[in-house]
Structures are given as structure tokens and as C-alpha cells.
Amino acid sequence: MAFILWIIAVAIAIYGILRLVRGDILIGIILLIVAAAVGPGGYSIFK
């Protein structure tokens, strides 16, 4: 389960970084926060 959450968090983080590069600052920051909340490391909403 932790591996699946890690993969999802990485995908969300990469998409967030791409949105930041394209100029969508707010959506990019929100996606990075969501990636940190979903990922198994650090803070996770699934603990």
C-alpha cells in the first residue's frame, strides 16, 4: 500500500511542478501540498 501511495504522490508532484513551470502558480502549489498529504513519507492523510 505504501508503494502505491508513493507512486501516486510522485505523479501528483510531477504534475504540480509542470503546472508551476507553465505559470499556474496556485494550482501547482496546491498539487504539491496534496502530494505531500498523500505520500507515505512525512505527513500522510492515510495514516
Positive or negative, the Cα torsion across 32, 36, 38, 39? Answer: positive
Task: Give the phi and the psi of residue 6 in degrees, each rounded to 5.
Answer: -65, -45
pLDDT digits (tens, 9 = 90+) for 8-29: 999 999 999 999 999 999 999 9
pTM of the model: 0.79
Domain ranges for the chain, please list them: 2-38
* CA-only gyration radius of the chain, Å: 11
Share of the chain above pLDDT 70, in %: 85
| Alpha-carbon span 5 to 44, nearest angstrom | 9
